[in-house]
Structure 1
Amino acid sequence: MKIRVYYEDTDVGGVVYHSNYLNFCERARSQLFFDAGRSPILEGGHFVAKHIEADYLKSAKFGELLEVKTHLVKIKNASFTLLQQIFRDDEKVFEMTIDLVYLDFEGNMSKIPSSEKAFLSDLQ
């Protein structure tokens, strides 16, 4: 997914504020569902972040066009791990792994529905 860096994404020096890289990745994860005609909020529950490891490699700046790439690392019955990388042209500026778990609407960890598991498996 391509993302333009706007002024609201930056600090006073025009550099992307650190938490906005997480926002860019969140948008890209949601967009994966939207592009497939799905919603990230499912009939029986939703996914929540459990653990994130992030590496800030280079600074992105106001006006730049970035691309977020998302790949499935592993999938289990109730959780999955994604690798998300942000590039400026061919240069990687940010990388993170995120563990997401599936919760029912009562807040209990639950098995990922089989249709969603199949969809997620295609992200490899």
Structure 2
Amino acid sequence: MKIRVYYEDTDVGGIVYYANYLKFCERVRSELFFQKGMSPHNGDEFFVVKHVEAKYIKPAIFGDDLDVTCKLIDRKFASITMYQEVLRDNEVLFTGKFKLAFLKNFKPSRIPEDLINVFL
């Protein structure tokens, strides 16, 4: 998914603020649902981030056009692990590994197959 870096995404030096890479990744995961006419939050069923591993490689700056990727790399009963990259002109700027837990009524629950298919 394409993301443009706006002024609001940057610090005083025009560099993307570190936490915004996490927001970019979250936006892409949500967009995968929206593109299939679904919502990432469905009443009492939703994913939450349980664990993040982030690697900041090079900075993105104000005005950059970025590509953010998302790939399912592991699946368990009530969790999935996603690998995401933020790229500028095919150069990797950030990588993240996100473990998402699926909750129903705020308790871990089996992930329905239609939700798994969103990430395939």
- For normalisation by structure 2, the TM-score amounts to 0.95
Q: Shift in Å at residue 76 of structure 1?
A: 1.1
Secondary structure of 2:42's aligned partner: coil
CA RMSD between the two structures: 1.1
C-alpha displacement of 1:39: 0.7
- Structure 2, unmatched stretches of 5+, are none
Q: How much has 1:42 moved relative to structure 2?
A: 2.6
Q: Could you tell me which residue of structure 2 aligns to residue 78 of structure 1?
A: 78
> Identity, % of aligned pairs?
49
Runs of 4+ in 1 over 4 A off after TM superposition: none
Aligned position for 2:61: 61
- Tell me the residue number matched to 1:30: 30
Structure 1 residue ranges without an equivalent (≥5): none
Find the aligned partners of 2:84 and 2:13 in 1 and give their Cα distance. 25
Q: Larger % of strand: which?
A: 2
SS at match of 2:16: coil
Q: How many residues align?
A: 120
Mapped to 1, the partners of 2:11 and 2:118 lie a distance apart of: 37
Q: Does residue 1:110 correspond to 2:99, yes or no?
A: no
* TM-score (norm: length of structure 1): 0.92
